[in-house]
Amino acid sequence: MSASGLILAGLDGDRTWGLHDYVARGGYSALKKIIAEKIPPETIIAELKASSLRGRGGAGFPTGLKWSFMPRSFPGAKYLACNSDEGEPGTFKDRDILRYNPHAVIEGMTIAAYAMGCERGYNYIHGEIFDVYQRFEDALEEARAGGLLGQNILGSDFSFDLFAHHGYGAYICGEETALLESIEGKKGQPRFKPPFPASYGLYGKPTTINNTETFASVPFIINMGGEGFLNLGKPNNGGTKLFSVSGHVNRPGNFEVPMGMPFAELLEMAGGMRGGRKLKAVIPGGSSAPVLPGGVMMDCTMDYDSISKAGSMLGSGAVIVMDETTCMVKALERLSYFYFEESCGQCTPCREGTGWLYRVVHRIEHGLGRPDDLDLLNSVTGNIMGRTICALGDAASMPVQSFIKHFGSEFQYHIENKKCLVPPEVQYQGSQIYVRP
């Protein structure tokens, strides 16, 4: 964890997550200001728009714009949902936000509820992080006790109830409509859109869903103003962002840095390449973002536009670093297995196609590849992409396409020689059990 940035600034691990310390860090001042000055919801949304905050869940959708879709005059209940179902391989930032600074999320959600007129919210927390779920429950208790949540917040006539919902092991629930289904007590199978959650969301009511980090940024935007936040980063890529750096680096971890920081600098922050080995490839935005060769990556800056120009996506900001000892076929095999395992099973192309992809990559890795296999993989991914209800189909296809695109010769070598291009003596050397320095 880095001590720079906004959300992670000034934290001291498990010691300072509580309400008292949060307030001492200036926490809840944004909410207090809004209530005290009776700032109109439209003004808040305008600030969000000015900040150029883009959703931190992966798609990078402008948050202010999303908030403005909520029907203002809708008569019944409206809901807010926080997406803390972080399960995209490589991503581990929301866990740190929730365990070290949970009140930033609570404050951000409360402000969002105020801005959109939501009466109730849920934070959907990834199944595997039960301790974080419990801590968030404790933080909610603190906030309620402090009059910061619940009925008549800070003595105003604004009320908002917030609860934690615990997942139990399904990556797909990170998809926003699957998440809603899951809160409703069902299987997490994504819904066809339209209708979009803003008109038909949780329990059929208008609902806005944002990522944990997105919500956690909100108090800072209110405090420093939209412009101030924007100026931390670069145009169209406002603010700071958490990057989860994993893989072959000396110090894996989360780094909150201004948008637009050169990748090389981020790599340096993470301690550089482990064992001084050579950078081979980077997946810059979580496992579903296309992989980029190390050289290409070294020329990128860490923001939506730069990464997109290089042919990948900033996604969730999960940077998976691979060194020269990595077998790309094996790496893809593991990712393909993941999507196969996590397909929810409703759409035909995803249900049948992810297994097909995995099996073909698996046979290549195991020396059973056939000459046409790369064409077959490209064709099957082509038949999955854009043909499914949610983007998991695309997420499963993009790694396959990009691995073949950038490392096709390695695949070809596997097929032709029934063995790996990476010399056996160095294979996986970088992937031994990691021991913290």
Of residues 339-378, which lie at the interface with ligand SF4 (CB under 6 A)?
343-347, 350-351
Bridge partners of 254?
A: 244
88 lies in the site for ligand FMN, by CB under 6 A? yes
CB of 275 to ligand FMN, least distance (A): 31
What is the nearest approach in angstroms of ligand FMN to the Cβ of residue 178?
Answer: 8
Q: Which of 2, 52, 83, 244 forms a contact with ligand FMN (CB under 6 A)?
A: 83
Q: Does 389 bind ligand SF4 (CB under 6 A)?
A: yes
| C-beta separation of 124 from 133 below 8 A | no
Distance, CA of 259 to CA of 234 (rounded, Å): 6
Cis check for the bond before 195: say yes or no (omega within 30 of 0).
yes
DSSP state of 433: P
**Binding segment for ligand FMN among 24-32, 168-176, 243-251, 381-389 (CB under 6 A)?**
168-176
| Closer CB to other proteins, 42 or 341, in the complex | 341
CB-wise, 57 or 349, nearer to ligand FMN? Answer: 57
Residue 352's alpha-carbon distances to 188, 218, 224, 377, 384, in angstroms, are: 18, 41, 49, 13, 9
Exposure string over 33-42, b if 16+ CB within 10 A, otherwise e: ebbeeebebe
Burial code (b: 16+ CB inside 10 Å, e: under 16) for 251-266 equals ebbbbbbbbbbebeeb
- Determine, following the binding rule CB under 6 A, whether residue 385 of this chain makes contact with ligand SF4: no
For 319, residues 6+ apart whose C-beta sits below 8 A from its C-beta are 90, 243, 244, 245, 246, 247, 263, 266, 282, 283, 284, 285
What is the x/- site pattern for ligand FMN, positions 45-64, by CB under 6 A?
----------xxxxx-x---
Amino acid type, 154? L
CA distance 244 to 58: 13
Residue 36 Cβ, how far from other proteins at the closest point, in Å? 30
3-state secondary structure of 34: helix
Residue 55 binds which one of other proteins, ligand SF4, ligand FMN, none, with CB within 5 to 8 A depending on kind? ligand FMN
Residues 390-429 that bind ligand SF4 (CB under 6 A): 390, 392-393
Residues 12-41 that bind ligand FMN (CB under 6 A): none
Q: Rounded to the nearest whole angstrom, what is the least distance from the CB of residue 235 to ligand SF4 in the complex?
A: 33
Positive or negative torsion for Cα 46, 50, 55, 59: positive
Q: Considering only residues 335-364, where is the footprint of ligand FMN by CB under 6 A?
A: none
**Residue-wise over 219-233: b if at least 16 C-beta within 10 A, else e?**
bbbbebebebbbbbb
Q: How far is the CB of 186 from ligand SF4 (least distance, A)?
A: 13
Binding-residue total with ligand FMN (CB under 6 A) = 24
Q: Give the x/- contact pattern for ligand SF4 in 168-197, rule: CB under 6 A.
A: ----x----------------xx-------
Residue 69 contact partner, candidates ligand SF4, ligand FMN, other proteins, none, CB within 5 to 8 A by sort of partner: none
Inter-residue contact 21 to 11 (CB < 8 Å): no
Binding site for ligand FMN (CB under 6 A): 55-59, 61, 66, 83, 85-88, 172, 174-176, 209-211, 214, 390-392, 395
Residues that bind ligand SF4 (CB under 6 A): 172, 189-190, 343-347, 350-351, 388-390, 392-393
